[in-house]
Every structure is written in structure tokens, then in C-alpha cells.
């Protein structure tokens, strides 16, 4: 069975490199598509979903913003199982910081130049909110097209969706991006920051084995 995987905002699959997926799954990584100018989230999700073969049973797994994306893909092409890592099940689980962006519409008005690789503001934002203690943090963020990054932040801020009870949620208890206090995850990674798939791969892999292990 295929497991389609989507990584996080600006992140390539290095953040998931250390995970061991059950041998009964064929892992297919879905690379991020750069959004077309003024493309709606619905149309973007449709393009991402086009690469999922729904003629056979499959599963979905998403990390961070990828967790939101796979839940939207699941609405178009229902998966046998959908798992999210360091992500939220509904807009009700957004942090106060993200909700502030939603209420004010601020992300829409941010200039693209602050999302360039040379922007000190963008660098300090990533350092502060993802994992301040991780010296290798920036190696995981290799998708750095400014319009794409700004677009993603707008979509995270404006995302509206009710919880799907079938989604399996795995969170770290020290996540700053999506604080665990706003969610009721199925599994908790102790001392896990937003980067727990990279920093706690053994614990995460054990949970994935439980979740996917019995699937044909």
C-alpha cells in the first residue's frame, strides 16, 4: 500500500529522513508545488491531489503545514488512514498568534522580500518559533521561494476546517508553532519540539509502527 507524504512549510524531506516507516508501506513523497499567483487553496490542493492514485487504497501522512494539506487531499480522495505530525486537526486548534493573523489579515500584507533567504526577520522568525535550541534548524528549510512562503503563511492563518475524527494526530509537548494545549492528540512525543520527527525519530517511528503496522 502506498503512503503519500507531504512535508512542512518550506521544509524538504530531510526533517523526515530518520523516520522508519513500516515495511508494508511504499512511501511516496509529494514534493511541494509552487502556487500560481492568486491561486486559491482549493485549486492548489486539487493540483497536489492529482498526484495521488486513488484507483488503489492508500494512506496519507503530513508534517506541519503538510498535515493541513493531507487533510484537504483526504476530502477529495479519501485515504484509508490519514496521519498528521506536528499539525492541527481543525481551525479551532490554532494558537493565539495564528488566530491574530487570521483576524487582522496581516499575512496578506507582508512584503515578499522578508521571506527571502537573506532576510534577518525571516531567519529570526524561524529560529524563534520552530526550535530555538537546534543549531541545525535551517538545514531543513530548503524551499525558499518568497511567494510560496508568504502564500503558505496566509493559508495556514486563514484555514477553516472542522475536525475529522478519523485523523491520527501526533504532537510534541514542547511545540511552539502548534502548542499542544489547544489540541487533544492521539499520541504525544515527550520533550518534542516542532521538529520532533528529526529530533525524536525513534519514538515517532514506534508510534507509526503502531498506527500503520496492521495495514495490508
H or E, element range at 60:
strand 58-63
CA distance 100 to 105: 8
Beta bridge partners of 6: 62
CATH of residue 64: 3.40.50.1820
Cα separation values, 207 from 20, 150, 158, 163, 187, Å: 10, 32, 30, 21, 8
Q: Give the mean pLDDT of 125-134.
A: 48
Total structural domains within the chain: 1
User: Cell triple for residue 147?
Assistant: 511567494
Asked whether the beta carbons of 194 and 212 are under 8 A apart, the reply is no
Q: What is the pLDDT of residues 109-129, one digit of tens each?
A: 676 666 665 544 444 444 444
Whole-structure pTM value: 0.87
Q: Which pLDDT value is given to residue 123? A: 43
Q: What is the mean pLDDT of the chain?
A: 84
CA distance 150 to 168: 28
| Structural domain for 26, as ranges | 2-212
CA distance 38 to 63: 24
Q: What is the pLDDT of residues 40-88, one digit of tens each?
A: 999 999 999 999 999 999 999 999 999 999 999 999 999 999 999 999 9
Amino acid at each position: 500500500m502506498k503512503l503519500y507524504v507531504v512535508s512542512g512549510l518550506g521544509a524538504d524531506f530531510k526533517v523526515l529522513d530518520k523516520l522508519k516507516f513500516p515495511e508494508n508501506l511504499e512511501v511516496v513523497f509529494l514534493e511541494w508545488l509552487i502556487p500560481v499567483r492568486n491561486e486559491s487553496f482549493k485549486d492548489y490542493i486539487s493540483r497536489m491531489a492529482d498526484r495521488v492514485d486513488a484507483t488503489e487504497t492508500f494512506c496519507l501522512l503530513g508534517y506541519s503545514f503538510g498535515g493541513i494539506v493531507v487533510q484537504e487531499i483526504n476530502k477529495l480522495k479519501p485515504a484509508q488512514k490519514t496521519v498528521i505530525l506536528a499539525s492541527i486537526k481543525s481551525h479551532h486548534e490554532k494558537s493565539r498568534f495564528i488566530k491574530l493573523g487570521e483576524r487582522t489579515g496581516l499575512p496578506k500584507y507582508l512584503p515578499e522580500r522578508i521571506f527571502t533567504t537573506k532576510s534577518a526577520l525571516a531567519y529570526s522568525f524561524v529560529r524563534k518559533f520552530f526550535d530555538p535550541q537546534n543549531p541545525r534548524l535551517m538545514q531543513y528549510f530548503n524551499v525558499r521561494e518568497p511567494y510560496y512562503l508568504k502564500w503558505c503563511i496566509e493559508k495556514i492563518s486563514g484555514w477553516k476546517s472542522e475536525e475529522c475524527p478519523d485523523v491520527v494526530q501526533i504532537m510534541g509537548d514542547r511545540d511552539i508553532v502548534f502548542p499542544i494545549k489547544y489540541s487533544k492528540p492521539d499520541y504525544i512525543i515527550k520533550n518534542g519540539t516542532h521538529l520532533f520527527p528529526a529530533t525524536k525519530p525513534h519514538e515517532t517511528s514506534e508510534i507509526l509502527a503502531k498506527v500503520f503496522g496492521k495495514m495490508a
